[in-house]
Amino acid sequence: MWSDLAPVGRSASSGGYFRQPFASAERELAAWFVEQAEARGLRLESDATGNVVAWWDAGAGAGVLTGSHLDSVLDGGAYDGPLGVVSALAAVDALRARGFAPQRPLGVSVFVEEEGSRFGLACLGSRLASGALTWSAAAGLRDRDGVALADVVEGGGPALLEGVGAFVELHVEQGRDLVDRDAPVGVASEIWPHGRYRFDFAGEANHAGTTRMADRRDPMLTYAMTALAANKQARLADQRATFGRLEVTPNGTNAVPSHVTAWLDARCSSEAALASLVDAVTRQAAERAGRDGTTLTVTPESVSGAVAFGLDLGLDVPVIPTAAGHDAGILAAAGIPTAMLFVRNPSGVSHSPAETAEPADCLAGVEALADVLERLAS
């Protein structure tokens, strides 16, 4: 069962980056999911953004949903997202093999653009599906080529989450807690608050050879000192601050840049800690800009509050917090009883081809998910 469901083809070799929505590689994955759902006689429903739910129609009452995402970060791993989708399909197989007859509808979901790799907003699909984000607020989001979301999809479409009474997302662990506890499966207690902030540094373009250091107004210097300050600040209280994306203008080897745009991804154990981390970094960046003769504009792009998972799965497994964002966090914040199951990742590494999960642990995850779904859909 597991071998024919192994996460399909998503690896660094395929660039690991699916320009969501509807890039060719993503289309392949979405087509694979539709094929798998149809092969199981599940009823497919999709909204105009591209979110999909494959329903095992049964019984009546509030539906039980499980699933994850199929998109990836640039050069991501093969499990972040697909493991949850594949395991959901495998759990349907396991329940059928047990002869289980659900008393309420059971759905397998795939939300688009969970990583926000293309339009810059994480969990775009689940935010739209849950109503956390309106179509009018999302339509104008643009990718790196300036293509607007509204140019790619219409938005709207059936309210896929109407009548959903519970959501469970299985996900590869993005850390080492389960390795350290020698446990194949765990559940999430909470998702840390996290935010994305755009830092625009502006200075004066000039010649790399003829411009004395003292005469420069170099935004790259201000950015570099800001990244250093963020790193130091986050270490003070075991928070997280990452500048992983940078755009330099004009981006020439022999030109002092005129502009540097950098995106800060900040995650903290509390909303107060997040606010004070970002304030401290912004304050230090502004001070540095004053010294360098550059200017700074900081624009919050998305900020998500703390999420505590209230849905008790009744499993005797480790309960661990996560600083990774998930569609489950969006649905929980929208008031849907939600939980997350984690599967051990021996490398502990994620958002990298080094992300791993052992087949035996994946199967343990499927069995745990099937147990949970059997309880919720009875």
Rounded Cα gap, residues 230 and 172, in angstroms: 28
Query: Residue 122 binds which entry of Mn ion, ligand HGY, none, with Cβ cut-offs from 5 to 8 Å by kind?
Result: ligand HGY
Q: How far is the CB of 322 from ligand HGY (least distance, A)?
A: 8
CA distance 347 to 92: 28
DSSP string, 201-251: EE---EETTTS-GGG---HHHHHHHHHHHHHHHHHHTT-EEEEEEEEEES-
- Secondary structure (3-state) at 320: strand
The alpha carbon torsion through 171, 177, 180, 185 (nearest 10 deg) reads: -40
Q: Tell which positions 35-64 bind ligand HGY, by CB under 6 A.
A: none
**Site membership for ligand HGY, residue 115 (CB under 6 A):** yes
Identified binder of Mn ion from the candidate list 80, 169, 292, 361, rule CB under 5 A: 80
Is residue 351 part of an annotated ligand binding site?
Answer: yes
Which single residue brings its beta carbon nearest to Mn ion?
Answer: 80
Q: Whose Cβ is closer to Mn ion: residue 81's or residue 193's?
A: 81
Smallest gap from Cβ 304 to ligand HGY, in A, equals 10
The 119-158 site mask, x for binding Mn ion (CB under 5 A), equals: ----------------------------------------
- The answer to whether the annotation marks 207 as part of a ligand binding site is no
For residue 55, the Cα-to-chain-centroid distance in whole angstroms is: 23
Size of site (CB under 6 A) for ligand HGY: 5
Residue 217 main-chain phi, psi, to 5 deg: -120, 80
Q: Pull the structure tokens for residue 116.
A: 């926000």
Q: Is 122 in the site for ligand HGY (CB under 6 A)?
A: yes
What is the nearest approach in angstroms of ligand HGY to the Cβ of residue 348? 15
Options 114, 177, 190, 292; binder of ligand HGY; rule CB under 6 A: 114
Q: Write down the least CB distance from residue 293 to ligand HGY, Å.
A: 35
**259 has binding-site annotation:** no
> Helix, strand, or coil here: 340?
strand
Measured on CA atoms in the order 29, 33, 39, 45, is the torsion positive or negative?
A: negative
Per CB under 5 A, does 113 bind Mn ion? no
Answer for the pair 195, 302: CB distance below 8 angstroms, yes or no: yes
CA distance 234 to 276: 10
326 is in an annotated binding site: no
Tell me whether residue 80 or residue 361 sits nearer to Mn ion (CB atom).
80
By the rule CB under 6 A, 153 interacts with ligand HGY = no
Of the pair 37, 129, the CB lying nearest ligand HGY is at: 129
Distance separating alpha carbons of residues 234 and 268, to the nearest angstrom: 9
- Is position 115 annotated in a ligand binding site? yes
Stretch of 36-44, 56-64, 114-122, 336-344 lying at the interface with ligand HGY (CB under 6 A)? 114-122
Candidates 325, 329, 337, 365: give the one binding ligand HGY (CB under 6 A). Answer: 325
**Residue 153 contacts which entry, Mn ion, ligand HGY, none (Cβ below 5-8 A, type-dependent):** none
Residue whose CB is less far from ligand HGY, 105 or 186: 186
64 vs 277, beta carbon nearer ligand HGY = 277
Q: How far apart are CA 273 and CA 22, in angstroms?
A: 37
Closest CA to 335 of 307, 367, 298, 295: 307
The contacts of residue 368 (CB under 8 Å, 6+ apart) are 185, 313, 315, 317, 341
Judged by phi (left if over 0) then psi (alpha if -120 to 50, else beta), residue 238 lies in: left
- Sites of contact with ligand HGY (CB under 6 A): 114-115, 122, 324-325
Binding residue numbers for Zn(2+): 69, 80, 115, 171, 351
- Sites of contact with Mn ion (CB under 5 A): 80-81
